[in-house]
Amino acid sequence: MPKLESEVFTISGSDMGQVVSDADGSRSVNRSTGVYERYVQPCLAEFFGSTLFIFVGCACVVANKGPGAIQPAVAHGLALAVVIVLFGQISGGHFNPAVTLCVHLCGGMSLPLVLPYILSQLLGGITGAGLVKVMFSAVEYQAGVGGAFTPDPMANDLGKITLAELVMTMFLTTTVTMGAVNKKTSSQLAPFCIGLTVTANILAGGGLSGACMNPARAFGPAVLANRWDYHWIYWVGPMCGALSTVIYVRLFLGDQKTRLILRK
């Protein structure tokens, strides 16, 4: 048995134990980690991180008095980068059901945590949106629709809006996968790259679809503001974008551990 030399902590997700690196470069999992740290603590981290991120996301929309997407773009990107740095070593720092799906299918986390992660993220979305509703006056809250996403089918075709969500989420999940899950391309700058990707996407597509890229971010304010018009877009687009990333990472861009074909 090769001697364990160092621990490898990634923001790609919990893998049912502590990931360690063997002397030959292979990765294994330390099963001695307690049940609390393997199952409960990661879900709590996803809940608290999602609460903070979605609170900032909804609050910046409600408080945004001027035109343009600069304030929401910067606020979402900075908040996401910070919560990933804070909670990434515990849960992987997903805070997004589409990211969790992509990370799991790319081999970055185990199946038993997928549903608990998604439920934790959705509950965090409701909590974060609830804090915004309590913090702002009723007039301000209604004017900003509570930070909920309300696409206008008269201004933009629903197919184009869904495609925009797909492409932007594909960019986001590619950044997560290649920056944090894929060993060959992983970087310590991944949290900041992920935050910057969200910022860039909001600047690029905020006027078209709102640039959600995150079903939990859409779900929380939809519950609190009771705005469900075309809510399906913010599930179908991001989830399809995540699956698109899985396809080309698993088939072509992943390292030998991640790639399913052409390993030699």
Tell me the fold of 39-253.
Glycerol uptake facilitator protein (1.20.1080)
Domain boundaries, the chain: 39-253
Amino acid 64: pLDDT: 84
Amino acid 155: pLDDT: 73
Dihedral, 172, 175, 176, 179 alpha carbons, nearest 10: -170
d(CA 190, CA 175): 8
Q: Between residues 4 and 182, which one has the greater pLDDT? A: 182
Q: What is the mean pLDDT of the chain?
A: 88
Q: What is the pLDDT of residues 88-137, one digit of tens each?
A: 999 999 999 999 999 999 999 999 999 999 999 999 999 999 999 999 99
Amino acid 32: pLDDT: 54
pLDDT grade, residue 30 (50/70/90)?
A: low
Q: How is residue 261 written in tokens?
A: 């074909």
What pTM, to 2 d.p., does this model score? 0.88
Q: Which of 62-76, 80-94, 221-235 comes out lowest in average pLDDT?
A: 62-76
Q: What is the pLDDT of residues 144-201, one digit of tens each?
A: 999 999 888 777 799 999 999 999 999 999 999 999 999 999 999 999 999 999 999 9
**Residue 27: pLDDT over 70:** no
